[in-house]
Each structure stands twice: as C-alpha cells, then as structure tokens.
Structure 1
Amino acid sequence: MNVRRVVTGHDASGKSVFVSDETVGPVETMLMPGYQNHSLWGADTTPQYPDDGSMPQWHSYFPPVGGFRFAILTFPPLFGSEAPADLDVEAALADVEEKMPGMLGYMDLSDPGMHTTDTIDFEVVLEGTVVLELDDGAEVTLRAGDTVVQNGTRHRWKNPADTPARMAVFICGATHERVPAR
C-alpha cells in the first residue's frame, strides 16, 4: 500500500498554499516480514509558524521530548508470532537500524516485540484487528475505529487475524522516568 500525503504551508505573504502532494511508500524490514511503516511526518522540535511546508528534520524512529512522529502502520496476518526460520538475525537487526534508526534501543530483545518508549502515542485502528498486550500479559483486542492512548507502558502489538491490520499513529516525545533519555 502506498499513502498519499498532501502538505500545506504558507507562501511569502502568509497565504495558505499546497506545497506538496505525493505518494509515500512504506518502510519494510527483514526482521518483520509484511510489516509496513509509512513515516508521513515528524520533527525533533516543536513546529514553528509560518512555515514553508517542507519536511522538518528528524533523526530517530521515536521522537525526543518536544518532537513528534506521524505514521500509518500495517501489521501483516499473524504478526507477533514466530520469526522466519531462515532469518539472518545479524543482518535483520542491521536492516532495522538502518531503516528505523534507534528503534532497537527501545526493544526488549529477550521478549520479542515488547518495548517501552519515552513517548505518548495516540493510535486509531483503521482496519483489521490488532491486539495490544501489556507486560503482565493483559490484552485488549482492537478493531476499526478503536483508539488507544499509550502512556509509555511496556507493550507489544499482535495481529491474530488472517488479514492485514492498519493503524494511524501520532507519537509525541515525553519525559519518562523509567526510560533513559536518548
């Protein structure tokens, strides 16, 4: 799936204008076959107005305090189950680090998929079914239209269904006393 991203901004006189209209392809990795991340917008600092509508600079998958990320995530069928048997783990980890810098630093590699971030995440399920599992094994099943406010808790996502699931996510960097500043 490709996602259309339309961006507005301001011209030199302050008038509202469309500054871009383009297709954004997904980021895919060897470690998570079928998982797609459409990184649509983000910044490591608070946006300023007026703006020219150009993509702000950002450097890591998760934002620092004051930063934000906006994306659409696609979880393939049966996501969160076993890794591919023939996976070259070293190459797959390098691939994730290259395409989603810093993400692995938040992952609990001893418990695949579990992670804790220094962010507040706003998520809405667009289609399909996803399961949000917390560190104590508690789970909630979410379907299209359901939302989550993720307050820096240790968690993982799963798709138990035989069809893809999609979520829109908006992630804000936050101070989290249990997650070291990056």
Structure 2
Amino acid sequence: MTSRRRVVTGHTDNGTSTIASDAAVPARTSPGLPGVDMLYLWGTDGPQAYPDQGAEPAWTQHFPPVGGFRFVTFTLPPADFVRPEDADSPENQQHARSSFPGLLETYREDEPGVHTSDTTDVAVVLSGEVVLGLSDGTETTLAAGDTVVQNGTAHSWTNRTNQPVEMLFVLVGATRKA
C-alpha cells in the first residue's frame, strides 16, 4: 500500500459544510521495520472543536494521549518476507523511531513483537489473516472483516500466511492505573 485517498470535510466562514481536502495520504515505511507500511489518516492529541476549516490537527507521537486518537492503517508483510540483514542497524532503527515516533518504545525486549500501549485500539482486518497473541499464551486468528477491541493489553500481531495483512485501527488514548 503506497497511499490511500482521504476526503476531509470542514466548514466555510458562514458555517456551510464543504470538502476541505481530497488527497492521497502516503504510507510511512522504514528500513528499521521492513515490510511494514502505516498510513496515518487522521489524528489529534486533544478534543476537536467545530466549526473548523477541516485542517488536520497537529500530533507528535504514534500513540495518542488521553483525549486524543489516531486513525491509521497497518500492513504486515507475509510470513515468507525476507528481513534485510541491516534492519536492526542503529541508522535503520533511528529511522524507524523518527518515522513512527513512540512506537518502538512500547515493544518488550524479552518478547519480540509484543507491545503494550495506553490506548484502546479498535481494529478491523481489511485483508488477509493475522494472529493476535496475548501474554497469557492465547492466540486468536482474525480474517478479513473480523474486528477486535484491544484494551491496553500486552499483545502481538503475526502474519503466518503468504499474503500481506492490512488492518485499520482507531487508537484512543487511555489512562493506565498504577
């Protein structure tokens, strides 16, 4: 996936609804996360206020704070994808950190692919088949059309097929109790 069309509505100065923009949003990729594509379709770090002009709000991190959200697609490469040898080089890992700010910091060093965020993630599998793994050892296979609500749990996404998986997420900032 290289891009996806995004149509955004807004308001004119007199309050009439209008198309504020209609453009392709490019995927973000990184040699530090080879085979992974993410399209950040929309996001905000706080509540929206209307009427507005339909401009995309500023946000800085992959995961939103409380009151914020992200609307993003995620493409996971097939199981037979050959990971380049230099994917873990310091330069490529720094590129991944700047392309997907805050994402890599949520991954556990002792469990590859497992990560935890202070978000509620509402997701739908758009194409392919993916395995949701949880820290209790549970694995649930999800196919195109299946949905999941991931409530701040330690989890992983694994593609065991020979086709890419594309998922659509809405990430909503949440509070973790100490």
Report Cα offsets for 1:88-145 as digits up to 9, x if no partner. Answer: 4312220111111111221112322111100001000011001100012210000011
How far has the Cα of 1:164 moved from its partner? 0.9
Query: How many residues get paired?
Result: 177
Partner residue in 2 for 1:158 = 158
Q: How far apart, in 2, do the equivalents of 1:18 and 1:86 lie?
A: 43
Greater shift in the superposed pair: 62-71 or 169-178? 169-178
How far has the Cα of 1:18 moved from its partner? 0.1
Gaps of 5+ in 1: none
Q: Is the 8 Å Cα contact of residues 24 and 40 (structure 1) preserved in structure 2?
A: yes
| Partner AA of 2:74 in structure 1 | L
How far has the Cα of 1:83 moved from its partner? 4.9
| 4+ aligned runs moved over 2 Å, structure 1 | 81-89
Alignment of 1:6-45 (within 5 A): 6-45=7-46
Q: How far apart, in 1, do the equivalents of 2:99 and 2:105 lie?
A: 14
Partner residue in 2 for 1:127 = 127
Q: Is the 8 Å Cα contact of residues 68 and 170 (structure 1) preserved in structure 2?
A: yes
Question: TM-score with structure 1 length normalisation?
Answer: 0.92
**What is the alpha-carbon root mean square deviation over aligned residues?**
1.6
Q: Is the 8 Å Cα contact of residues 31 and 83 (structure 1) preserved in structure 2?
A: no
Gaps of 5+ in 2: none
Q: How far apart, in 2, do the equivalents of 1:151 and 1:82 lie?
A: 31
| Partner AA of 2:52 in structure 1 | D
Partner residue in 1 for 2:59 = 58
Partner residue in 2 for 1:174 = 174
How far has the Cα of 1:85 moved from its partner? 3.3
Question: TM-score with structure 2 length normalisation?
Answer: 0.94
| Partner AA of 1:3 in structure 2 | R
Q: Is the 8 Å Cα contact of residues 43 and 56 (structure 2) preserved in structure 1?
A: yes
How far has the Cα of 1:177 moved from its partner? 2.0
